[in-house]
Amino acid sequence: MHDLPVIGRLSNTEALVAAHPDLLIIWGDKHAPIHQRSEEILGKLNIPYVYVTVGDLADLPDYPEAYAFLGRLFGKEEHTAQQAAWCRQALDEVADTLKSLPKPLRPRVYYAEGKDGLATECDDSLHVHLLRLAGDVNVHRGHTSCHMGLERVTIEQVKAYDPDVIIAQDQEFVDGIRHDPAWRGIQAVRDGRVHLIPRTPFNWFDRPPSFMRILGLKWLMQRLYPEAYTVDLVEETQDFYRLFLGIRLSADAARRIIGQ
């Protein structure tokens, strides 16, 4: 993949034409699937294109149909049917688990971004889509100020939230939080429920909000509900890597990736 050409923005039409693509795939939001600007550019190039519609760029419930569509498009129906089924099963498992867990039994979660852990996301952000699917457990409520997210908060705000669980992006932050007097009194830190998000081959939770989040949802559910959600995450990781990435992992390799 490192040797493949990088085209950059769609507006870079010279690089796009030079790549001689047979087909372009464009993300289209379910509520506004047509990209007028894209069509204006592509219409002049005479290159075929199709839309794959996924709500808000990141909505996992739309992934099964997206995989099925791509399977029909590329003549890979059998393989993408397995991928779509894996997505549906993951989503159904989560929904079934949450039925027995009313809101008071769900942990309150703070999503820590940045080296200081003081950037986060509002509950309506696409960057915390998994927290909504896992029981709408994000402690930081409100309307996100921009598509990029990374809302700044203070340590006083986090202390007031006093989350039961913290999930974090940065290894340095996770390593230091237990010894930082500013964080030590927070419930999640006292209980040892601070979790580093896996990121091999890239992030399981966010940035980018990719298909890795299908496996990330299983990881998150097990971290939040270890007694109610009892899947074997090592086996699930091996299965996912085989089906979605074409890689056969050993159990030890899967454990290292998960961080357990």
**Would you say residue 8 lies in a domain?**
no
Which residues on adjacent β-strands are paired with residue 18?
none
The whole-angstrom separation of Cα 15 and Cα 8 is: 8
What digits encode the pLDDT tens for the residues 155-188?
A: 999 999 999 999 999 999 999 998 999 999 999 9
Residues 39 and 166 in one domain: no
Q: What is the DSSP letter of 56?
A: G
Q: Are strands 151-152 and 165-168 parallel, antiparallel or unpaired?
A: unpaired
**Burial class of residue 202 in the structure, from the number of CB atoms within 10 Å of its CB (0-12 exposed, 13-18 middle, 19+ buried):** exposed
The residue-averaged pLDDT of 212-218 equals 98
Whether 126 contacts 209, CB under 8 Å: yes
What digits encode the pLDDT tens for the residues 102-139?
A: 999 999 999 999 999 999 999 999 999 999 999 999 99
Domain end residue (candidates: 67, 99, 131): 99
Range of the domain at 33: 13-99
Residues 183 and 66 in one domain: no
Domain end residue (candidates: 75, 99, 123): 99
Domain end residue (candidates: 99, 115, 150): 99
Number of domains in the chain: 2
Q: What is the pLDDT of residue 256?
A: 97
Residues 25 and 49 in one domain: yes
Residues 220 and 178 in one domain: yes
The residue-averaged pLDDT of 2-26 equals 85
CA triple 201-66-210, angle to 5 deg: 25
Work out the mean pLDDT of the chain and round it to a whole number.
Answer: 93
Residues 48 and 176 in one domain: no
Residues 57 and 147 in one domain: no
* CATH number of the domain where residue 49 is located: 3.40.50.1980
Q: What is the pLDDT of residue 211?
A: 95
Q: What is the pLDDT of residue 203?
A: 96
Output Rg (C-alpha) for the chain, integer angstroms: 20
φ, ψ of residue 25 in degrees (nearest 5): -110, 125
Token pair recorded at residue 20: 């001689």
